[in-house]
């Protein structure tokens, strides 16, 4: 007996028919989706909006103004937004090392004629500093050193007994006023430059040579001796109209206990 091929039944046919319909539906959906993907809006690449933003604010939209500070330059407000930044003034002014100067005179009003300045008296030319003292009668011819005041405001004495010194705070020899020259009478090493000063007499000549080559000439007026505690300060340093000279040294008895002479000898001289 021959075997017959199976004949599809109704159920099997219905199953095949349903599968075909499903495939048709899926195909239509995919077709529609492809059309939408092809003709729909294009996708925007990442970062496109960032590149489109302006690097600086538009001209119609000014940049934000930074907050003002307490020490901002008042002129900086007009230059906000500029590329250059002005330096700021310090909040506390720095002290200026400037000497006190007299205030300038007020300017004359435009309709006022300037007042003529008074004629000043001619200023006396400065006298050159002394360099050498020469006293022919007693054999003195020695270079001079400068003497000032010590810590107790007393006239210094030369460190070298053989050298006289001139008082730098007083008039220079030859200028108006009393110039003062001091020297030792002696020392432990021997005689000093003014050992023979008491030998001078009125009329004797005294010469002071100066650094500009000029020479101031004086003649002795008088000579005197005073105890150290009665030194004639006023007579020695009192201002005078003409050029005068004082030569000062020690004299009298030497006090062994205090290691000094008890007196001072002063020679008064005036310009020749």
- pLDDT of amino acid 23: 54
DSSP E strands, the chain: 130-135, 140-143, 145-147, 165-167, 177-182, 186-187, 190-191, 205-210, 215-227, 243-255, 260-271
Please indicate, yes or no, if residue 62 is contained in any of the structural domains: no
**What six digits make up the tokens of 86?**
């002005």
The verdict on residue 258 lying in a domain is: yes
Domain of 252, CATH number, reads: 2.40.260.10
3-state secondary structure of 11: helix
Q: Helix or strand or coil: residue 36?
A: helix
Q: Establish if 73 belongs to a structural domain.
A: no
Cα 189 from Cα 184, distance rounded (Å): 12
pLDDT at 217: 99
Q: Within a domain: residue 28?
A: no
**DSSP label at 229?**
G
Alpha carbon 58 to chain centroid distance?
51
Is there a domain that residue 58 lies in? Answer: no
Q: Give domain status of residue 74, yes or no.
A: no
Helices (H), the chain: 10-39, 48-52, 233-237
| DSSP-based helix, strand, coil % in the chain, nearest 5 | 20, 25, 55
pLDDT along the chain (272 residues), means of 10: 48 50 54 48 39 37 40 48 42 35 38 43 74 98 96 92 97 97 95 98 99 98 96 93 97 93 97 96
In a domain, 180, yes or no: yes
The range of the structural domain enclosing residue 242 comes to 130-271
pTM of structure = 0.56
Spell out the residues 6+ positions from residue 268 whose beta carbon is closer than 8 angstroms to its own: 220, 221, 222, 223, 224, 235, 244, 245, 246
Q: Is residue 53 part of a domain?
A: no
Q: How far apart are CA 178 and CA 153, in angstroms?
A: 18
Beta strands 177-182; 243-255: pairing state: parallel
Number of compact structural domains in the chain: 1
Identify the pLDDT of residue 27.
55
């Amino acid at each position: 007996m021959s075997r017959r091929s199976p004949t599809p039944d109704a159920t099997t046919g219905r199953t095949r028919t349903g599968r075909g319909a499903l495939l048709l539906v899926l195909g239509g959906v995919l077709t529609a989706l492809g059309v939408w993907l092809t003709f729909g809006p294009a996708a925007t690449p990442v970062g496109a909006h960032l590149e489109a933003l302006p690097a600086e604010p538009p001209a119609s939209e000014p940049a934000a103004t930074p907050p003002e500070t307490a020490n901002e330059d008042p002129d900086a407000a007009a230059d906000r937004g500029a590329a250059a930044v002005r330096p700021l003034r310090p909040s506390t002014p720095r002290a200026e090392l400037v000497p006190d100067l007299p205030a300038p005179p007020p300017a004359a009003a435009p309709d006022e004629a300037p007042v003529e300045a008074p004629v000043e008296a001619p200023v006396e030319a400065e006298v050159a500093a002394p360099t050498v003292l020469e006293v022919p009668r007693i054999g003195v011819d020695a270079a001079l050193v400068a003497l000032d005041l010590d810590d107790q405001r007393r006239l210094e004495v030369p460190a070298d007994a053989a050298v006289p010194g001139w008082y730098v705070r007083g008039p220079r020899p030859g200028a108006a006023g009393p110039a003062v020259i001091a020297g030792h009478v002696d020392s432990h090493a021997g005689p000093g430059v003014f050992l023979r000063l008491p030998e001078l007499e009125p009329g004797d000549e005294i010469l002071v040579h100066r650094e500009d080559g000029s020479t101031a000439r004086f003649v002795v007026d008088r000579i005197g001796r005073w105890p150290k505690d009665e030194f004639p300060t006023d007579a020695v340093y009192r201002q005078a109209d003409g050029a005068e000279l004082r030569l000062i040294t020690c004299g009298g008895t030497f006090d062994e206990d205090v290691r000094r002479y008890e007196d001072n000898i002063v020679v008064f001289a005036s310009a020749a």
